[in-house]
Amino acid sequence: MKKKIYINGRFLTQNVTGVQRVAEQIVKELDITLNKSNIFSQYKIIILVPNCECRDVVFKNIEIRSIGILKGHLWEQIELPLFVKKELLINLCNTGPMIKKNQLVMIHDAAICSAPEGFSKKFVLWYKLLYKQFSRNSRRIVTVSNFSKEELLRYYPKMDNKLGVIYNGVDHVVDINPDEKILSKNDLEADDYILAVSSMNPNKNFRVIGEALAKSKRFSGKVVIAGGNQTGIFADGASSVGHNIKWVGYVTDEELVALYKNARIFIFPSLYEGFGLPPLEAMRMGCVVIASNAASIPEICKEHAIYFDPNSPEDLLNKIESVYENKILRVNQASKALEFSKEYRWSLAARILINYIKELA
């Protein structure tokens, strides 16, 4: 009989933001990779989900199984560990059952400790409790960058001997068909706007874009911000969207790829990121990136982004004005960045995860 390995599939019941996307892409690639490996001669991998509405995903080699009657945190903390018992559990989205010992947990960053002002107090207290328990109980913890590894060790030194790194991939964007209707729907033209993408968490620092544009006497272009506004979690929400900035709200993957593909510049002004998928997604779509020099961003983007001080609107404005009208610079920068972004592959992330599974199972 094959040994069972379970994956916490709660992410399939949630809206797709950064961590849910990472989980789904890793599992998709895990499914493909396992089909080519002899690991199935030993193990059966099962995704466990609450008995409620889930995203419609299909795997060839990994079973999806609904269990329990609860949902959300209650399902994850009570029914999930009771069902899994002593078998290995893989958690890919920052959360997992705090009493479970035989598990791997992926923690994407230490923002609740380093930048708590971006979250509600209830959210911060809950995740601090979870991370403390994971540092004590979990057999393996992984994160998504060396920056995040150092941050987590600063706050949770007990993670030291169990903490590893798995970089995200970015090749998922090439499989998405762009929905160009998002342009006409928002009165946008190709190569005639600057794009920024993320939630409206104040740590994402969209304010600096508005402040930079307010100082400009020359720039009259459009800046488009795409992404959800999770005001129930974030303490400050979207408090300053100026007249130069068009917020289009939540967009589909197809619309997002179209926005990346047609933007003249992508700006990533974040103050804190554990990894930061959006600038790599923009690079993969051939868009030049102007990015904050904070947190993990220089580690991930290396020399293929144009960096600015996220606390300096003047520095950002200088970078915008130097790039916006310089087509030769944009083409050269974008071409090199596109090739660089191909190094971030979900297949590599899946292979590293498989190695951890073999180590723990």
> Are the C-beta atoms of 132 and 158 separated by less than 8 Å?
no
CA atoms of 141 and 44, how far apart (whole Å)? 22
Is residue 168 classed exposed, middle or buried when 0-12, 13-18 and 19+ CB atoms within 10 A define those classes?
Answer: buried
Q: What is the reported pTM? A: 0.92
Cβ neighbors of 285 (< 8 A, separation 6 or more) are 173, 257, 260, 261
Contact indicator for 127, 86 with CB cutoff of 8 Å: no
Q: What angle, 0 to 180 degrees and rounded to 10, lies between the N-to-C axes of helices 207-214 and 313-324?
A: 70
Counting every residue written for the chain, the total comes to 361
The pLDDT, as a whole number, for residue 247 is 85
Residue 322 and residue 223: Cα distance in Å, rounded?
16
Per DSSP, the chain holds a count of helices (H) and strands (E) of: 14, 13
Which pLDDT score is estimated for 172? 96
Q: Are 138 and 100 in contact (CB under 8 A)?
A: yes
- Nearest Cα to 349, choosing from 5, 32, 88? 32
Torsion 150-151-155-161 (CA) sign: negative
Q: What span, in angstroms and rounded, lies between the C-alpha atoms of 104 and 92?
A: 8
Q: Is residue 59 within 8 Å of 44, Cβ to Cβ?
A: no
* Cβ-proximal residues to 167 (8 Å cutoff; 6+ apart), any chain: 144, 145, 275, 300, 344, 348, 349
Domain parsing of the chain, residue ranges: 3-169+345-360, 172-341
Instruction: State the pLDDT at residue 242.
Output: 52
Given a contact cutoff of 8 angstroms between Cβ atoms, the answer to whether 321 and 207 are in contact is no
Report the chain's C-alpha Rg in angstroms: 21
Class of domain 3-169+345-360: alpha beta
| 88-91 and 63-67 beta bridge pairing | unpaired
DSSP 244: T
pLDDT reported for residue 243: 55
pLDDT per residue of the chain (361 residues) written in tens, 0 to 9: 788 999 999 999 998 888 999 999 999 999 998 877 776 678 899 999 999 888 889 899 999 999 999 999 999 999 999 999 999 999 999 999 999 999 999 999 999 999 999 899 999 999 999 999 999 999 999 999 999 999 999 999 999 999 999 999 999 999 999 999 999 999 999 999 999 997 778 889 988 998 998 888 888 889 999 986 544 444 444 444 455 788 898 899 999 999 999 999 999 999 999 999 999 999 999 999 999 999 999 999 999 999 999 999 999 999 999 999 999 999 999 999 999 999 999 999 999 999 999 999 8
Domain 172-341 has CATH 3.30.930.10: no
Distances, alpha carbon 196 to alpha carbons 201, 243, 275, in Å: 13, 15, 16
Q: Which amino acid is at 27?
A: V
Q: Which residue type does 110 have?
A: A
Per-residue confidence (pLDDT) for residue 35, from 0 to 100: 78
Token pair 């892409």 in the structure block, residue: 25
Q: What is the pLDDT of residue 229?
A: 59
- Quick one: pLDDT at residue 239? 44
- For 268-296, b/e burial (b = at least 16 CB within 10 A) is bbbbbbbbbbbbbbbbbbbbbbbbbebbb
